[in-house]
Structure 1
């Protein structure tokens, strides 16, 4: 699951998710199943979208659910933040859950004097001080900023804090 792209700053599954995957179509394999709409993505296989019946073949894999908000694909932050750093992507609340958009939104991109925050990639107006409006825009930002990454920072542990407090 930890396949990383060429420059090790973006997992290969994220490239695949943002490039070739479509969601919310009927599953070819499980058409007769009750939950036949493909709204799941396997981070390990990076293949086509999955329906709930497909999960039997992906039991030990990392799978995230893609959701729709006003015709845009979103993913819950609590699901995707286990695998990538989304701290610089604008979060939104959709049906009570914090989400990030997969793709840029096609809203106003003009720079207004009153707008304080904009996406560094597509210049979309943002309500809060974040660098990017979506995962795709952050991925595009990797091209301009060599310090930018999706890699999660190492977890802070008690062992690390002892080392930080000890005299050198």
Structure 2
């Protein structure tokens, strides 16, 4: 797809290689670039948030080994009508780019009009890039489908999966909200809640592991003593 006519942020979003190691924090742990900064037009890792605290950030996720974004986030940036969405972790997501397909599948009666990937009714695009390519090739007005970033309202701050990462589009990096979407009542309310959930999950895992170990552990005591007793010559009762 010719991306020369796309806005800079959108062109970079579709060509950026996410989930690669961040060059700036190459030696740090969890340094994958899984966030896109719309102001700087670049992918960043969680360690870069201090440099982009007041910028608008978009969380990038993975589904079947490909980059996706929440549909609710994508709809704030462009018209996502007729783009196939999928559900993962109880949230609808859309693919950023079309996925490689070894051979054309004609088993489905409904396919993507760009890459021939099988789709559900009534969708006709498998990804955001396929829809943009169709708009460009058909001579449509791109500004009618792509929204200006400046006109999007910032949502409430949030916390994603217990980490300091934005869970929605155009959101300050230093944000805190519980997974259910409600804001914390205190300065560290969201962090405390996530810490408690993490501790509970860890305790449950340890309990299950201990239960499985005890289930296969040999029984000690008299049973083990009898099983290890060496056989001797049987003693006969005296004859009278």
Structure 1: how far apart are the matches of 2:88 and 2:141? 27
Task: Answer whether contact 1:109 1:125 (CA < 8 A) is retained.
Answer: no
What SS does the aligned partner of 2:9 have? helix
Structure 1: how far apart are the matches of 2:19 and 2:84? 24
Structure 2: how far apart are the matches of 1:18 and 1:131? 19
Structure 1: how far apart are the matches of 2:114 and 2:141? 13
* Greater per-residue strand proportion: 1
Q: Matched residue pairs, number?
A: 144
What is aligned with 1:102?
96
What SS does the aligned partner of 1:126 have? coil
1:18 aligns with 2:14: yes
1:139 aligns with 2:115: no
What SS does the aligned partner of 1:127 have? coil
1:38 aligns with 2:12: no
Structure 1: how far apart are the matches of 2:127 and 2:141? 14
Q: 1:74 offset after TM fit, Å?
A: 0.6
The RMSD of aligned alpha carbons is 2.5
Structure 1: how far apart are the matches of 2:39 and 2:47? 17
Structure 1: how far apart are the matches of 2:12 and 2:22? 19
What is aligned with 1:164?
none
Structure 2: how far apart are the matches of 1:33 and 1:92? 32
Higher alpha-carbon Rg: 2
User: TM-score, normalised on structure 1?
Assistant: 0.73
1:62 aligns with 2:40: no
What is aligned with 1:126?
119
What SS does the aligned partner of 2:13 have? helix
Q: 1:119 offset after TM fit, Å?
A: 0.8
Structure 2: how far apart are the matches of 1:14 and 1:82? 13
Structure 2: how far apart are the matches of 1:96 and 1:146? 36
* Greater per-residue helix proportion: 2
Q: 1:148 offset after TM fit, Å?
A: 6.0
What SS does the aligned partner of 1:118 have? coil
What SS does the aligned partner of 1:103 have? coil
Deviations 1:70-98 (A, max 9, x none): 11111111222212111221111112110
Structure 1: how far apart are the matches of 2:134 and 2:141? 7
What is aligned with 2:47?
53
What is aligned with 2:84?
90
